[in-house]
Amino acid sequence: MYKKALYLLAGDKSLVIEFGNTISKEINLKIRNMILALERANLPGILELVPTYRSILLIYDPLVWIYPSLISSLKKIETELTSLELPKPRVNLIPVVYGGEYGPDLPFVCEHNGLTQEEVIKIHTGTDYLIYMLGFTPGFTYLGGMDERIATPRLKTPRVKIPAGSVGIAGSQTGIYPIDSPGGWQLIGRTPVKLFDPYREKPVLLSAGDYVRFYEITPQEYEEIAKKAEAGNYQVETREYSVGEVAGE
Amino acid sequence: MSFIKVIKPGFFTTIQDRGRYGFQKWGIPVAGAMDEYALRLANLLVGNNQEEGCLEITLLGPTLQFNMEGLIALTGADLGAKLNGTDCPLYEAIWVKKGDILEFTGVKSGCRAYLAVSGGFDIPEVLGSKSTYVRGKFGGFKGRPLQAGDQIPVAGPSGSWEKLRGLQIPVEFRTGFTNQINLRVVLGPQSDSFTKSGIDTFLNSTYKVTNEADRMGYRLEGPKIEHKSGADIISDGIPLGAVQVPGHGFPIVMMADRQTTGGYTKIATVITPDLNKLAQAKPGDSISFQAVSLEKAHQIYREYEGQIKKLKEYLENTKNTVKSTKKAMILRINNKEYYVEIEEV
């Protein structure tokens, strides 16, 4: 983490506040603090804040702000940043059917790492994954903390269409596809939970700063949950995060 | 119900407004009009607020039948519009009647035209916007480009729209088109990932728009831009107009439907008013980049907004003087035809 954030130019309406050049829990916490402080400060002419791994993209109205005074206002907020009472992180329990048609690449992940299917599933479900950021496509979470024992390179030829809900591995990352999209991740399972629904009151289910824990379900349970989710009657189980309950960052 | 019927869909026509802001933190792209200047002008002509959704018509336009009476306006690219078979003027508030047919005969200049209707389209907002995000299948009309047989509901005119009939945008406010486009940029946020020679190449070369140029981004080809040590960064936010340079060394200008975050170095960001020029560029057009300071960029931006404000005031003042009593006729005197306009005094 840098001693002081860098303020980088990003055109006539945006700037980047960069806190470091690595992926770390510490930097991510700093960003969440800064976002909260900016929201509380409620400065005029700030149109949008986009938090990412190590920086914030801030979009402002240049008719409201002269750049030097914007920067000094932001730096003041940064300097006065103490650890604010961030909301306690929650763990979202995400049901997944592993293998078979739901996760066609599970055999390859096993073979690549010399593990049985049961072992891969045990490792994948045995971690609380920190949601560092959302981005790329609506509702896509960048998760941290996957066990290196199940790390697997991407497919050489990406698939044209991956169904929404697919759970995959790419290198030492794991993630869920929120909408049907092309992609090169190794698919190990699928969740019936709808991570993104633009017509729902809360369109995106998961928030940065919270955690994801996967648990295994049967195809029959998948169908039951899918039906409920389709009707808008399925609530993902969440609980307060406690360090050391399972592995994880 | 007032609606516009789609007889032929054209190449790619979607409803766009000024974009869906506030949800990039969830990975939801902004979308919105590619040429926001043309969108705002079209809306002003028909008495809408500048943010209202319009049809964004790309290259080969649709054939539309109006099942309504009201005002429409076309701005942006000249795609050969004809209303009931005769040339349809651009940058003018035009009265259409039930059964009128608007068609497009082919690109004359530019790439994207905007069609505004008085009152706007009567479609639900999704996450605060009428913009279509096609990849996410939501927003606009059923989350997709128009198809034959669609009936797009029109909210119906409001206020003093009738006085706007015949109103025109003065020539100096209209967009001119060229195949050689100069884009002004502010260097950063990752310009320090490039060698001095890489920056020089970027600013002193001419690039060509490739066939991979759409609402998500414009891929350009030309001299390779040299990185210092690599093109990959830890994924961060992508502002509108960011010029990404991946490992292959060719620039990609990120446009309305861009993904919210990405892991490639961004050498510069195109200034807002110049993005409208790029939105009108077609494959094969030449692009060059010119660096300006942020102070200069802000000055240009204020002038740009000032220009739109001035135009709005002009239209407000002019609409009351436009005579709707004007009549035109053809007189034949001694076997010669004369086109005559008369109006009440």
Residue B161 has pLDDT above 80, yes or no: no
CB distance B167 to B198 below 8 Å:
no
* Position B52 confidence tier, pLDDT thresholds 50, 70, 90: very high
Instruction: Tell me which residue in B25, B29, B269 faces A49 most closely, judged by beta carbons.
Output: B25
> CA separation (Å) from B310 to B39, B271, B314, B317?
16, 21, 6, 11
Interface mutation vs chain B, best among A6, A12, A38, most B CBs within 10 Å: A12
- The strand pair at A127-134 and A247-248 is best described as parallel
Identify which of A10, A49, A139 has the shortest CB distance to residue B27: A139
Record the pTM.
0.91
Parallel, antiparallel, or unpaired: how do β-strands A211-216 and A90-98 relate? parallel
Q: Is residue B91 domain-resident? A: yes
pLDDT tens string, chain A, 249 residues long: the values are 999 999 999 999 999 999 999 989 999 999 999 999 999 999 999 999 999 999 999 999 999 999 999 999 999 999 998 877 788 899 999 999 999 999 999 999 999 999 999 999 999 999 999 999 999 889 999 999 899 999 999 888 888 889 999 999 998 889 999 998 888 899 999 999 999 999 988 899 999 999 999 999 999 999 999 999 999 889 999 998 887 777 765
Task: Determine the distance in angstroms separating the CA of A119 from the nearest CA of chain B, rounded to an integer.
Answer: 31
A85 lies in some domain? no
Minimum CA–CA partner of B129 in chain A: A198
The Cα of A51 is separated from the nearest Cα of chain B by a number of Å equal to: 6
Using a CB-CB cut-off of 8 Å, the residues of chain B touching A18 are 189, 236
Sign of CA dihedral B44, B47, B49, B53: negative
Does residue B192 fall inside a structural domain? yes
C-alpha separations of B329 from A134, B33, B338 in Å = 63, 39, 8
Residue ending a domain, among A47, A79, A111, is A79
| pLDDT tens digits for range A9-32 | 999 999 999 999 998 999 999 999
What domain count does chain B have?
2
Q: Give the SS3 label for residue A211.
A: strand
- Please say which residue of A29, A44, A79 terminates a domain: A79
Name the closest residue on chain B to residue A14, using Cα atoms: B239
Cβ-nearest to A52 among B136, B237, B302: B237
pLDDT of residue A92: 97
Identify whether residues A213 and A100 lie together within a single domain: yes
Q: Is residue B257 part of a domain?
A: yes
Give the residue on A whose Cα is nearest the Cα of B294.
Answer: A12
Identify all chain B residues contacting A199, using CB atoms and an 8 Å cutoff.
Answer: 126, 138
Rounded to whole angstroms, the Cα distance separating A118 from A27 reads 35
Task: Give domain status of residue B81, yes or no.
Answer: yes
Residue A135 sits in which domain range? Answer: 90-248
- Domain membership of residue A16 (yes or no) is yes
Closest-CA residue of A relative to B237 is: A57
Residue B12 sits in the same domain as residue B115 = yes
Determine the structural domain holding residue B73 and report its residue range. 3-173
User: Under DSSP, is residue B232 helix (H, G, I), strand (E, B) or coil?
Assistant: strand
Beta bridge partners of A97: A190
Please report whether residue B340 resides in a domain. no
- Complex ipTM, two decimals? 0.91
Of A67, A137, A198, the CB nearest to B298: A67
> B189 and B162, same structural domain?
no
Which chain A residues touch B if contact means CB-CB below 8 Å?
8-14, 16, 18, 21-23, 47-57, 59, 62-63, 67, 133-140, 142, 178-179, 181, 198-199, 203-204, 208
